[in-house]
Amino acid sequence: MSLVSLRNVTKTYPSPDKGGERIVAIDDVSLDIEAGDVYGIIGYSGAGKSTLVRLINALEPVSDGSVIIDGEEISGRPERELRSVRLGIGMIFQQFNLFNAKNVWNNVAYPLRVAGWPKERIAARVDELLDFVGLREKARSYPDQLSGGQKQRVGVARALATEPRILLADEATSALDPETTQEVLALLKRVNTEFGVTIVVITHEMDVIQSIATKVAVMDGGRVIEKGDVFDVFSNPQNASSRRFVSTVIKGIPSPAELAVLQERHIGRIVTISFRDGNADQAAVFLEIVNAGVAFELVYGGINDIQGRAFGHLTLALRGDDTAIDAAIVRIGQSTHVTEVR
Amino acid sequence: MDALIDLQDEFWKAAGETLYMVSITLLIGGAAGLLMGLVLYATRAGSLLPNKAIFVVLNVVINFFRPIPFIIFIAAVQPLSRMIIGTGIGINAVIFALSLAASFAIARIVEQNLVTVSPGVIEAARSMGAGPYRILRTIVIPEALGPLILGYTFIFVAIVDMSAVAGLIGGGGLGYFAQLYGYRQFEPVVTWAAVLLIVVFVQIAQFVGNRLARVALRR
């Protein structure tokens, strides 16, 4: 049984009784998140990712469909009952949302007070959490005295305080520089491996998915257009709109504009060859071209690494006898995917 | 100058009356205004305890009373004052009218300062399972404390201003003193002495308010 299960979930604004233009933020989404997953949800801004994550901890009620957390249906339950559900789900935010009037220690202690922990246990737990995120010496500092990375580490400590089984990260690194992003992602990875916390990561950045996610769902226009194993989704997207999205976040596939420049700048026929997890030996491919008596130039490309598995796309300009080029393309096509773009 | 020396006792008595009226008003009107401001903030659409009926009624009541000039208000609420505190004249009747008038103004100031609290911070508290009353008490008020203190300081000055018409119903105070012994007796020195003392009160209040707000904002 999945830890988080969304069944045909729909969210529309505003609620029908208030009138006004109806906006469908989430459109019939079904997802299963297993315990221990780091589940990435990626998409352009406005795709509905942030709304989706707020349905999981019921900060927003669903308009239709059901949300099942650890076997318990939570949609339609009264607010009072939802509060205890939320105690078991931590959340971190793009803008950190720390309590500015409270120091670091009291920020982390807050959810424990809400949960009604006794004083001595709160003190021990807060110290333990601050040690975990490496901010013990900042306990008496206020949020405005911290750097962005430190703020998010406090956010993580605070979100984990009540020992939740699920952590929701809403664009948690989008306000951070690349170096600090890596630092926070490493921390999230530790949260997953050391405490076994299931993490749902909302992001528009491929790097985030690439570094920590095990599963991914691609969202567009309120729908999940593709989901599955991160490597599969990004190396071999199944439908047109996810391919379009993937090509914008993956290195190696020229955009239409870039392609136009390539076509203008290079003579010969231009082909893109995809490599995926060692399905074709690059050296063998190049040898094939040379043996056919065709000259080639590498004009665009990139190789990606997702959890130790590589895939990529190389775009070549081929020059030579047309029939020789045709023959080479057919032979390469037997071992991997080739598309001619001119 | 001689007139002022002769009036020394009355002068200090009037000063004491002003301080008494203003501080009790700040206490009672401040508490009532805080409560109304919290209700306005919490019941507005999309807030912690949205309730259109309560919000609309309270909003209209506040808008009704707030623009009434205090010199008219103090006379208009006399019957209500007799009903509730048993008298329509004297310093306590002034405090009653002042507290009522001040509470509506304070309600607006409180509401305005609370809406500046970041919705993200409130969402964070909700995500931890905190209920609306707890969020109001432990997040919303502390987050807005600095500006709230400055708002109350502003209102203190407004109450000093309003208390000047207390003489109308026999309330005393520096305003009444200035009118009675200064203006009507053609003694500008007496008027200016009262004005100067009021300025001193206001300056001290502003200084203390700024200090407290700075502590709350840790700046």
Q: By a Cβ cutoff of 8 Å, what residues of chain A touch chain B?
A: 57, 59, 80, 83-87, 89-91, 93, 95, 97-102, 110-111, 114-115, 142, 144, 158, 162, 168
Residue A16 has pLDDT above 60, yes or no: no
pLDDT confidence tier of residue A20, bands split at 50, 70 and 90: low
Neighbours of B204 (CB within 10 A): 10
What residue ranges define each of the domains in chain A, with the CATH number in brackets? 4-249 (3.40.50.300), 256-340 (3.30.70.260)
Best mutation site among A99, A142, A174 for testing chain B: the one with the most B CBs within 10 Å? A99
How near does any CA of chain B get to the CA of A319, in Å?
58
Output the six-digit token pair for A248.
Answer: 């914008």
**Of A37, A34, A40, A32, residue with least CA distance to A209:** A40
% of chain B at pLDDT higher than 90: 78
**Of A292, A247, A290, residue with least CA distance to A272:** A247
Domain that holds residue B34: 2-217
- Block residue for tokens 């080479």: A328
CB B166 within 8 A of CB B21: yes
At B149, which CATH number? 1.10.3720.10
Output the six-digit token pair for B24.
Answer: 């009790």
ipTM for this model = 0.87
How many separate domains does chain B show?
1
pLDDT mean over A323-332 = 87
Residues A114, A58, A246, A261, CA torsion sign:
negative
Residue B150 has pLDDT above 70, yes or no: yes
% of chain B at pLDDT higher than 70: 99
How near does any CA of chain A get to the CA of B134, in Å?
8
Of B121, B126, B131, the CB nearest to A99: B121
For the stretch A45-73, pLDDT in tens is 888 899 999 999 999 999 999 999 999 99
Q: Which residue of B has its CA nearest to A164?
A: B128
Residue B103 CA to residue B42 CA, distance in Å, equals 17
**Of A24, A328, A41, residue with least CA distance to A199:** A41
Give the DSSP H or E segment for B133. Answer: helix B132-135
Residue A158 CA to residue A148 CA, distance in Å, equals 15
Q: How many CB pairs under 8 A join A and B?
A: 63
